[in-house]
């Protein structure tokens, strides 16, 4: 029997070398996840067989399950659903909706139209809820350290205003008073009374609104971004998920608008009517 060449015996592996079967394990571990399990004949979501969820668990509860790892109570799911319903649509004047409708006339599929719209839900259009959660959390952190609520609010508002005169979640460019805020805040108020949520972020939001409106003749009320931020924060969702949940919600309206526009028969619809020419501000000749 011929001995293996020097450096090629079973004890001569370099660091990082893998034995038989190690490659399969490495490949299997590449996308390790606790979100779902799939095997022949098996689909589980966070440990729940999907066949047990189908027909018995609502979509909002499944969203909670996928993001949090547990199923919500009925009261928690109802509050989350209210926030998602409120953010579904705001008409074609919203850039994301307009983009979905334009894209739908360009010969792309619904998936591309929806993706085009979702891709513009950024810091300015779609990110206020996430920012508002951070604002409210800053106030809650100070009160946790012993600060009085109004003093903490004044301190945080002053700090945020060093970067922008606008506070996320307050005021609206279109609505003097956002029609979606009061029903949402009433639900949070009731959930607080029932012990479903602690109410800390709700109290912080009211304190911000009072601080903003002190001495003003024209009020700056909380808007839907503020109201939904309160809900997401009260339910324990981290700030980045406030934007993610808004994207899920608004995708419903985006899909509806893209589908409607795709049925119109119009091709290559631009942002303004064809007979309206953009104002030209460059040099002219002759």
184-241 pLDDT tens trace: 999 999 999 999 999 999 999 999 999 998 888 788 899 999 999 999 999 999 999 9
CA distance 244 to 163: 24
Residue with the bigger pLDDT between 15 and 264: it is 264
Residue 150's pLDDT band (boundaries 50, 70, 90)?
very high
pTM above threshold 0.85:
yes
For residue range 11-63, what is the model confidence (pLDDT) as tens digits? Answer: 444 544 555 577 788 999 999 999 999 999 999 999 999 999 999 999 999 99
Q: What is the mean pLDDT of the chain?
A: 91
Quote the CA–CA distance of 176 and 276 in Å, as a whole number.
30
Check residue 1 and give its pLDDT.
46
Is the confidence at residue 71, as pLDDT, over 50?
A: yes
How many angstroms separate the CA atoms of 250 and 38, rounded?
29
pLDDT of residue 165: 83
Which class is 89-269 in CATH? mainly alpha
pLDDT value at residue 68: 98
Q: How far apart are CA 11 and CA 129, in angstroms?
A: 57
Exposure letters 21-59 (e unless 16+ CB within 10 A, then b): eeeeeeeeeeeeeeeeeeeeeeebbbebeeeebeeebee
15 backbone φψ class: left, alpha, beta (φ>0; ψ -120 to 50): beta
Locate the domains of the chain by residue range: 89-269
Share of residues in the chain with pLDDT > 70 (%) = 90
- Is 267's pLDDT higher than 50? yes
Whole-number percent of the chain with pLDDT over 90 = 78
Q: For residue 10, is pLDDT > 70?
A: no
* pLDDT range class, residue 4, cuts 50, 70, 90: very low
List strand residue ranges (DSSP E) for the chain, in order. 36-39, 42-45, 48-49
């Amino acid at each position: 029997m011929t001995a293996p060449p020097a450096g090629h015996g079973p004890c001569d592996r370099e660091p990082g070398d893998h034995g038989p079967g190690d490659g399969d394990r490495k490949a299997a571990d590449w996308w390790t996840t606790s979100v779902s399990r799939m095997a022949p004949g098996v689909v589980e979501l966070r440990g729940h067989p999907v066949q047990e969820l189908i027909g018995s668990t609502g979509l909002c509860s499944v969203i909670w399950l996928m993001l949090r790892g547990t199923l919500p109570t009925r009261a928690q799911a109802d509050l989350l659903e209210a926030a998602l319903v409120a953010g579904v649509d705001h008409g074609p004047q919203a850039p994301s909706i307009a983009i979905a409708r334009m894209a739908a006339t360009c010969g792309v599929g619904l998936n591309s139209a929806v993706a085009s719209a979702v891709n513009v839900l950024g810091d300015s259009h779609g990110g206020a809820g996430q920012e508002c959660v951070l604002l409210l959390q800053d106030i809650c952190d100070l009160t946790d350290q012993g600060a009085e609520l109004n003093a903490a609010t004044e301190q945080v508002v002053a700090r945020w205003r060093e970067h922008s005169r606008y506070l996320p979640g307050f005021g609206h460019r279109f609505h003097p008073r956002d029609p979606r805020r009061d029903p949402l805040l009433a639900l949070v108020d009731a959930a607080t009374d029932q012990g479903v949520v602690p109410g800390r972020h709700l109290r912080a939001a009211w304190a911000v609104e009072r601080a903003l409106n002190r001495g003003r003749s024209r009020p700056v009320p909380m808007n839907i971004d503020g109201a939904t931020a309160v809900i997401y924060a009260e339910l324990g969702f981290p700030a980045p998920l406030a934007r993610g949940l808004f994207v899920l919600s608004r995708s419903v309206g985006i899909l509806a608008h893209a589908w409607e526009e795709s049925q119109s028969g119009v091709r290559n619809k631009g942002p303004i009517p064809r007979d309206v020419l953009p104002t030209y501000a460059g040099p002219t000749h002759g």
